[in-house]
Structure 1
Amino acid sequence: MTDPLLLPLERSADSRLVGGKAAGLRALHAAGFAVPRGLCVTTALYQQCLKAAGIDGPAEWQALLRAPDEQRAMARGRIHHHLMTVTWPPGFRQDLESRLVELNPDAETRWAVRSSATNEDADHASAAGLYSTFLGLPTAGLLHAIRDCWASLWEDRVLQYLLRVEGESPCPAMAVVIQPMVHAVAAGVAYSIHPVTGRTSQVFINAVPGLASALVGGEVEPDQYMVEMDEELCRPMRIRRRQLARKQRKLVTTSHGVHGETIPESAQQQGSLSDGQLYELAQLSKQVEQAFGHPIDLEWAYDAERLWVLQARPITGVRPLPTLTNDECEWTRANLKETMPELPSPLGLSFLEQFMDAYIIGPYRRLGCTVPDGLSSVRVLHGRPYLNVTLFYTLVSQLHGNPAFLTEQMGGEPLTFTPRVRSLGAVALLRAGLAIMREWRRVVREGPPTFEAMKAMAETYRSESVQHFSVSELSEKLDALGRWLDAHELTYGIAGGVAQSLQAMGTFLPGWLGSDWRELLNASLQGQGTVISAQQIVRLAELAELAFREEPVRRWFLDDGWTAAKFPEPLAGTTFLRRFEQYLADYGHRAVGESDIMSPRMSEQPEAVLGVIRTQVRTGEVRRPRDILSRQVAQQHEALAEIRRRFGWRWHRGGIFRWWHRRLTRFCVLREANRHHLMYYSLAVRRLLFRLGEQMVERRVFAMPDDIFYLTMDEQRALTNGDRQHWQGLVRQRRDERARNEQRHVPDTIRDWEAIVQEEPPSTSSGREGSLRGIPISAGEITGHVRVVRSTADWGRVSPGDILVVPVIDPGMAPLFGMAGGLIAEMGGTLSHGAIIAREYGLPVLVNVPYATTQLRENEQVTIVSSTGTIRRVVP
C-alpha cells in the first residue's frame, strides 16, 4: 500500500511518515489539548521527490558525514538545487489546495509552515531550531516553503549537530506541517521543569507580546517567569519570579503577513502575561508533561480567546537535581534580626555560620535527618544574615513534627513553597526520639554548672587580667574557649524542649480552650519570677524607685545640664550608685545586638540605661517593683483559673496541660538562662579579641583595636599564626563595604534569592496597604502613644506608657520594658528571646506586623488588642 502524501494532523501518528513535530502535535490533540488544526506533508512526498531528482538519500548522507568541508559544501549545493527544482507529482498541487480550503476557506488566510524531520523532537536530541520555519505565508508561497524545509535538512549546521550528538547517524527524512496562523496577543516557550537546575516543581516561562518567532530565534529579551507548582496536585502555588524586560517591538499577523509594530513606551515594561494566564500555562505544561511521560518544552500562544499549544518537545540535556539548592529555599531575617545588629561584623557573621552548622544543624544530622550537600542554614546578603526557613521545614517534617508552627516560633512570614519531605521511618524515629529525650535530660542536669562556668570565664578574663597575655597566649586561650563550647553547648537541647512543648500544646489547646488559647497560654506563662532576663526589668524598676526617693540622686537626674558622663563622681556615696554598679555587674554583659561579639556591652556604655531611669524620675511615673510582680502574678492566676474552668470535669485535660506547662516553663527559663550566660562567655572572648587587636596595633598590623572584628574566624586564626597578609587593606575594604551596605535596604523575607541578587524586586503579596494585624505573643489590651525605636539613640524619647514600635524585639531593649505600655514589632516569634522577656513581664505584644515602623506615625495613639491580633488607631 502506498503511503499518503498528505495527512491531517489528527491522523499523523506514524513518526516515520510524519516526523517528530507532527507526531507530537497529533499526540497533543489526542490528549485533548488545544492544537490548531493542520496538515502534514509526509516524508513519502519528500522521498518521492528525492528519487525523481536522482538522489540516493542514505548514500549521499553517509558520504557527506565523511567528506571534507569543501566537498561537503559542493555536494550540499547540488542536492539543494535538485530539491528546489524537482517537479511535483501529478495531482499534488490540486490535492494540497483542496485540503487547505477545508482547513480554512478564507482566501486571505496566512499560514505557518514548520519542518517535521524524523529525527526532530526525539527523546535523546530535540534538534530544536535546526530546520526551517516560515510564518505568515500566503497560500501561493507554501510550495516554495515546503522545498525550503526539505533543503534545510541538508544544511551544514544539521550535519554538525547530528555528528556531535549521534555520531554517524542514519539519514533522516523530512515532513512538513502546515497550519493557519494564530493571531497571537502573547506567545513564548514554557519549560515544565527548570531548564537549568531540572527542579521538577518549577515551571519556567519566557513570554513576549505578539508572535514568539523572535524569541525562539534568540533575537529579543523575553519576560521571564517562574511558577512554583504543587506536584502532587499538579496545581500552581505561586509566581516565584517575575522578571520583566523592556520590549520595544512586537511581531503581529495581519492579512498582509507578519510585520513588526512599535510598542508604546508606557507599555514597554508591562508584563506579557497576567497572573491568571501564568497559572493556566504552568498547569498546562505539567499536564502535557504527564501526558507525554517526560519533561517538555512547550511553544504556546494566546490569541484573543484562548491558549494554543503550537509544539511540545522533550527537554534534553537537563538532569533533575535530586535535592534542594540554596537558591530554591526561602530565607528570613526573623530570629537573627532580634539578637544581632542591623549590620553584624564579619567576625560575628562567621561565628554565626559555624555556630548554626555545629550546634543546630549538626544535632539534626545526628538524629538521622538528611541535610542535602551544599545546603546552608545561613546566608548573607548586603551584610545581613538570613536563616534558611525551608531547611528547618524539612528537618521538622523529617521528625514528624508540625512545620506549621515554624512561623510562630521563629517569626517572619509563612513558607509559600513546601518541598516534599521523606519522614524518618518508625525505627529511626524511635531512635531519634530517645536521643532527644536524653538531650533534654542532659541540658536540665548540666545547665546550672555550665552557666556557672561561663560566668566564671567573664571574671577570669577581665580587661585588666588579659593585658599581660602575648599573641600566642591569646590565641591559645581563644582556641581553648572554642573547644570548651564544643563540649558544653546546650542551645539545641533547650530550644528543642521549648519548641516541642509549644508544638504539643498548640496541637491540643485550640480544641480544648477555643480560638483565644494562645492568649490564655501567654498569660499563664507570666509571673514565674525565674526568667533571668525578665528579672533585670524588676531590678531596673527598683533602681528608678530608689533614684526618685534618694534626694541627691533625684537632684542629679533632674539637673537641666544633666549628662551621664562620669556619673560615679556626682553619685559617690549613694545607695543608688552601689546598686547600679551591682546591676551592671549582673547585667552589664548584655547588649543590643548582643549575638555579635563586636556589639558594645551595657557596662561599656551605661549612659543609655541611666537615660531610661532619668525619664522615669523626670515624669514622676516610677513603677514600683512589687506592683509589677503582683500584676504579673495576678494575670497568671487569672489565666490558669480560666483554663481550669474551661477544662471543667475533664480532669485528664488538666493533667496533660500541667505536665506540658511545667516543661514549657522550665525550658523557657533555661533558654533565657542559657543566652544570659552565653553572653558571659561572649564577653570573655570579646576581651581576649580586643586585647589581640591592641597587640596588632602595637605591631602596626592594625590601625585600630576593633579591626579584629572585621576579620572572619579563619582569618583571625591565620593572623595569630603569623600570616603576613596586608590586613589593614583588607579591613579598609570591609569597612568601606559596611558603609555601602548601610545605604542598602533589604527585605526581611527572600523567596527568590537570584532575583534579589540581580536587584530585581521579588514577587510577593505583602505590601504596605491593608489592616494592621500581627501575631499576639503576650496577652493584654493597651492604648498608648507610638514611639518608634530603632536604636539606643531613641531610648531617651521613650516615656512611661508608650507603645514601642520596633523592627524586632531585641532582648537588649529589656530596660525599656519597665516603661513601655506595649510592643509592636515588624518581625518576631513566640520563641524569640525578646518575646519570652516581654511575655514574662506581661506587656501586650504583637509581632509580624509588616512595615509597622513606617505605617505608624510618631506620637500617634493606638490600641493593641492581643485577643484579635489587631492594632486600632485612636482617632482624636
Structure 2
Amino acid sequence: MSATPLIIDFAAAAEAGPRLAGGKGHQLGRLARYGLPVPDGFVLTTAAFAQAACLDLDGVVAEALGQRGWESTPLAVRSSAPMEDSQRASFAGIHHSALNVTGGAAVAEAVRAVWASLSTPQAVAYRERLGIHEAAMAVVVMPMLPAVAAGVAFSCDPASGRDDQVVINAVPGLADALVSGRVNGEEIVLEADPVSEDYAVIRRQGPSAGLADAGAVELAELVRETAFALDYGAPWFDIEWVWDGERFHLVQARPVTARPWHTYPALAGQAALWSDGNTRDALPHVMSAGDWAFSRRLVNLLLEQGWRLAGYPLLPGAQRAALFSGRLYLNAALLQWEGYDAVGIAPAAMNQLLGGHHPEIAVPPAGFKERTVRALRMLRYVVRSGRVRRLGRRQVDEAHAACAAWRAENLAALDNEELGRRLFMVGLHTRRQSGLLFLQGSGGGSLSLLLDLIERHLPGEAHALAAALLAGGEPSVTARQSYELQALAAIAAAEPAAAALLRAGANDWQGLPDDSPFRRRFAAFIERYGHRGIYETYSRNPRWREDPAYLLRRIAELMDGDPALPSRLAARQAEARQAARARLVRLPGWARRWALALAKAATAECNDREAARSAFIAYGEIGRLLVLEIGRRLTARGCLERAEQVFHLIPPEVAAALAGRLQGAALRHRVADRERLFAEWEANPAPDVIHEGVAAPVTVPAAADAAGGLWRGTAVGAGLAAGPVRVIRCPEDGGRLAAGDILVAPSTDPAWTPLFLKAGGLVMETGGYLSHGAIVAREFGIPAVVNLPGILAALADGEPLEVDGGRGTVRRISNMKQRRP
C-alpha cells in the first residue's frame, strides 16, 4: 500500500494541499488552521480514490469513525475534487454530496456515490469545458450541525462586483435546498461604511430566515475576516455557514470565480486597466496585510474628494485600488472616465498626470450640454475648494500637534482594552480628515488647467513650461527638509566634533556636548521631521526618529559638497522661471495672466499635497507605535515570534489577538503563511499594467528607442543637463551619487529628496506629473524626465547622458564636455 495517507484531519489537509485533500478539504483545513469556526472533520484523500479497486473502504471508514466516536453521529459526506472550490472552477452542483449519513456502511456507500459522480456526463462536460484533464476525488466527512438557519454568504456582491457589500442568502434549518437551487431563501445585503468600514443592513428580501440584523452584521464581519484570512489581496469568497442559535460555523469557502467589474455604464465592454504608474513612487514594494487593509478604502476617500466638491455623481461602491502580486495599483480606466465625465479632462491628459503606460479609454464626444455641465462643475470646484483647502491646512497643523501629544504618552501604561481602543480611534480619526484627504488626493486641478491652457497656445510645450513656471516658488515641506539638511551640513562642517562624528559614520549625535550647535539644530530637525522615513508609507518601516542613520549619512555627504550650492540652485530656479515667462509672451494677454495665476495656484496645491502627505505620515507614525506595542505584548504572550510580525495582521485581527479571541497556533499560522506569500511576491516583479486582472503586454517606449540611444518620456523639470549616469535603486545607496551626476531611479519618495540637491538631472522609470519626484524636481529646477520604463536596465553607471526637461527626452551623448550646459 502507498505511503500516502488515506485519511487526514483538517490540520493535515491544510498542509497537504488540494491535490491530496481536494479543494474543499484543503480550504476547510486552512479555515481550521486560522482558528475560524469550522466543525471537526476528516478527509478521505485522493490516494484512497486512486486505490479504490483494491481498498477495503468499509474498513477504512469504520476505523476513522471509531477513532472519533462518530459511529452513531449523523454526518455530511461531501465531494472535494482537486480543482473544486478553486479560483479557476467551483464545480458547484456538479458532484454528489450526502447529508445525515449515519454508520460506517452508509458512509462508505456515500463515499462511493461521491466517487461515481466524477464520471457523470455533467462532470465530464464541465472538466472538458475548463480544460481539466485529470479526474480525481477526495471526500470530506464532518458531523451535521443543529442548524437554526444556514446559507451562503458572499464577501462581495456577486451580481454587481461591489466589494464594499456582503450578500447573505439564508433559510431556516439546513441550507441544502438553497445550495441546490430548489429555494431562494432570504437575501440580506449589508454595506460597509466607507470611513469606519462597519457593516449595516441596507436591504432584506424574501421570506425571513430568522436571522436578526445584529446576527447578519456579526456574520458579515466573520465573512470579511475569513476572506482576508484566506487571501488578503483578493478577499472575495463564497462561504457556506450554519447558525446553531448561538454561534456561526463555516462549512465551506471557495473563491468567487466570476466577479464582474463594478464600473460606470460608459465603461461597459472596456477593459479594467490597473496601473502602478502613480503609486510606485510611494509604494514600490509589497504591502503587508495591515497596510493594505487600511489603504484599500483610503485610496477611494483620497480620490473622491475633488469630484464630490464639484458635484459629480460618483458611482457608489466603486473601488479604485487593487493589489496584484502584493503591489498597489490604481484603476486607470475608471480614473480616466471620472476625469473626463466630471470636468472634461481628456484621457491622454489624465494619463500624463497619473504616469504609467496604459491605454486611453474610449470616450463619447461631448456635446454642448455635456461641456456646459462640466464647465459648471469646474466652476463649482473652484468656488468651493478654497474653503476645503483652508480646512486642510488647519488639519495639517492639528495633525502635527495631536501626534506630538500622542507620542509623549507612555503606551506601556495602557491596558489592552485602552490600547486597542486607541488604535481604532487613531485610524478612524485619520480617515475622517476630509481637508487632508482633499489636499492629498485632489491637488492637480490648477496644474491640469495650466497644462491645458499652455497646450492650446503652444502645442507640445505645456509640461516643460509649466515645470519652469513652478520652479523656485514657495518651498514645500519636502523641499524645506532638504534645505535644512543643507544648512545642517554647513553647521557640522564648522564644528570639528560634529564633523568628525559624521565623517566617521557614527550615529551617536546625542553624545555631542549639550551646547553643540549641530546637536541642537539636528534635535529640532528630528522634532519637526522625525515622523518621516525611507519608504515611509509602509508602517513596517522605521522612522527617522527611531533610526536617523540615513539622515546623518546624507548630511556627511552634503558637508563635503559645494558651499555655493544654495545660491546656484536659486539662480537655476530663477533662470528657468524667467525663460518660461519670456516664452509666455506669445500668449494673448488674458491667457498669459491666467497662466501665471494658475502657476501660483498650482505651486500652492502641490505644496499642500506634500504637506498633507507629511501629516498623514505623522498619523502613520502613531499607528506604527501603537501596533508595535501590541506586537510586543503578543510576543511576550507567545503568540508571535517577534513584534514586527504584527504588521502582517489586519486591524480586526490585531484587535482580536489583543483581546485574546485570536491566539496561539491560529495567530502564528496566519502570520507564517502571509510571510511566505510576502516573500514570494517580493521575489517576483509585477508588470506595470494589468488588464482585467491578467498581465497583458504593454508598449514600452523606452525599450523601443533604447537601441538608438534616445528615450522620450514626460518632461517634469525644465532645463538641460548632462553628466555621468548614476543608477540608484534605493535611497540608502545614495552615497554613490556625486555632484552633477544624472540620478536614474525607479521612483522616488521624500526620502530621496536630499539626493536632488546633488543631482544634475533626474530620470525615473515611473511617475506622472503629480508624482513626488516631479513635484520636487520642479521646485528645485532640476531637468527631469519621468515615465521611462526599462531605462534602468538600459543604462550603465558612468556613461554620459543628456536630460532635456524641455523636450522630455533622455539621450546618450558621446562628448559630454561639449554637451554639458
Deviations, residues 81-127 of structure 1 (Å, cap 9, x unaligned):
xxxxxxxxxxxxxxxxxxxxxxxxxxxxxxxxxxxxxxxxxxxxxxx
Counterpart position of 2:793? 854
Mapped contact 1:545–1:624 kept (Cα < 8 A)? no
Give TM-score scaled by structure 1 length. Answer: 0.58
Within the candidate set 772, 783, 800, 1:833 is matched to: 772
Deviations, residues 400-427 of structure 1 (Å, cap 9, x unaligned):
4223211221111142443669999689
Counterpart position of 1:484? 429
Letter in 2 for 1:679: I
> Equivalences for 1:598-617 in 2 at 5 Å?
598-617=540-559
> Equivalences for 1:99-498 in 2 at 5 Å?
328-361=271-304, 364=307, 376-402=319-345, 403-418=347-362, 432-433=377-378, 436-437=381-382, 439-462=384-407, 465-494=410-439, 498=443
Q: Aligned partners of 1:678, 1:685: CA distance in 2, in Å? A: 10
Q: Aligned partners of 2:628, 2:313: CA distance in 1, in Å? A: 39
Letter in 2 for 1:744: N
Say whether residues 1:781 and 2:724 are aligned partners: no
3-state SS of the aligned residue for 1:592? Answer: coil
Mapped contact 1:461–1:687 kept (Cα < 8 A)? no
Q: Post-superposition, which runs of at least 4 consecutive aligned residues in structure 1 deviate over 4 A?
A: 320-327, 362-375, 419-435, 570-573, 763-767
Say whether residues 1:735 and 2:679 are aligned partners: no
Task: Give the superposition deviation at 1:455.
Answer: 0.1
Q: Aligned partners of 1:622, 1:709: CA distance in 2, in Å? A: 43
Task: Give the superposition deviation at 1:332.
Answer: 0.9
Task: Give the superposition deviation at 1:859.
Answer: 1.8
Mapped contact 1:337–1:808 kept (Cα < 8 A)? yes
> Equivalences for 1:546-557 in 2 at 5 Å?
546-557=491-502
3-state SS of the aligned residue for 2:411? Answer: coil
Deviations, residues 827-866 of structure 1 (Å, cap 9, x unaligned):
1111112211121111111101121111111122211111
Task: Give the superposition deviation at 1:514.
Answer: 4.9
The percent of aligned pairs where both chains have the same amino acid is: 27
Counterpart position of 2:538? 596
Say whether residues 1:821 and 2:760 are aligned partners: yes
Letter in 2 for 1:529: E
Counterpart position of 2:618? 680
Mapped contact 2:702–2:791 kept (Cα < 8 A)? no
3-state SS of the aligned residue for 2:344? Answer: coil
3-state SS of the aligned residue for 2:712? Answer: coil
Unaligned ranges ≥5, structure 2: 1-120, 126-158, 161-262, 816-821
3-state SS of the aligned residue for 2:400? Answer: helix
Counterpart position of 2:628? 690
Task: Give the superposition deviation at 1:525.
Answer: 0.8
Say whether residues 1:705 and 2:650 are aligned partners: no
Q: Aligned partners of 1:468, 1:626: CA distance in 2, in Å? A: 50
Letter in 2 for 1:608: Y
Distance 1:435 1:591, change over 3 A: farther
Mapped contact 2:343–2:378 kept (Cα < 8 A)? no
Distance 1:397 1:721, change over 3 A: farther
Counterpart position of 1:801? 740
3-state SS of the aligned residue for 2:280? Answer: helix
3-state SS of the aligned residue for 1:568? Answer: helix
Q: Aligned partners of 2:334, 2:380: CA distance in 1, in Å? A: 21
Within the candidate set 527, 530, 533, 2:478 is matched to: 533
3-state SS of the aligned residue for 1:602? Answer: coil
Mapped contact 1:616–1:799 kept (Cα < 8 A)? no
Number of positions where the alignment pairs a residue of Structure 1 with one of Structure 2: 549
Q: Aligned partners of 2:619, 2:598: CA distance in 1, in Å? A: 31
Q: Aligned partners of 1:513, 1:532: CA distance in 2, in Å? A: 32
Letter in 1 for 2:351: T
> Equivalences for 1:624-639 in 2 at 5 Å?
624-639=565-580
Distance 1:636 1:390, change over 3 A: same
Counterpart position of 1:89? none
Deviations, residues 283-336 of structure 1 (Å, cap 9, x unaligned):
xxxxxxxxxxxxxxxxxxxxxxxxxxxxxxxxxxxxx99675899311111221
Counterpart position of 1:655? 593
Distance 1:386 1:517, change over 3 A: closer
Deviations, residues 128-169 of structure 1 (Å, cap 9, x unaligned):
xxxxxxxxxxxxxxxxxxxxxxxxxxxxx9xxx9xxxxxxxx
Mapped contact 1:398–1:422 kept (Cα < 8 A)? no
Letter in 1 for 2:482: I
Q: Aligned partners of 1:695, 1:655: CA distance in 2, in Å? A: 60
Letter in 1 for 2:452: T
Task: Give the superposition deviation at 1:784.
Answer: 1.6
Within the candidate set 578, 584, 587, 2:526 is matched to: 584
Mapped contact 2:631–2:640 kept (Cα < 8 A)? yes
Counterpart position of 2:697? 762
Letter in 2 for 1:746: A
Task: Give the superposition deviation at 1:392.
Answer: 0.3
Task: Give the superposition deviation at 1:344.
Answer: 2.1
Counterpart position of 2:61? none
Task: Give the superposition deviation at 1:638.
Answer: 4.0
Task: Give the superposition deviation at 1:583.
Answer: 1.7
3-state SS of the aligned residue for 1:536? Answer: helix
Q: Aligned partners of 1:454, 1:724: CA distance in 2, in Å? A: 32
Task: Give the superposition deviation at 1:353.
Answer: 0.4
Q: Aligned partners of 1:786, 1:398: CA distance in 2, in Å? A: 42
3-state SS of the aligned residue for 1:750? Answer: strand
Give TM-score scaled by structure 2 length. Answer: 0.62
Q: Aligned partners of 1:492, 1:602: CA distance in 2, in Å? A: 24
Counterpart position of 1:665? 603
Give the greater-gyration-radius structure (CA). Answer: 1
3-state SS of the aligned residue for 1:801? Answer: coil
Unaligned ranges ≥5, structure 1: 1-156, 162-196, 199-319
Task: Give the superposition deviation at 1:740.
Answer: 1.4
Task: Give the superposition deviation at 1:814.
Answer: 1.0
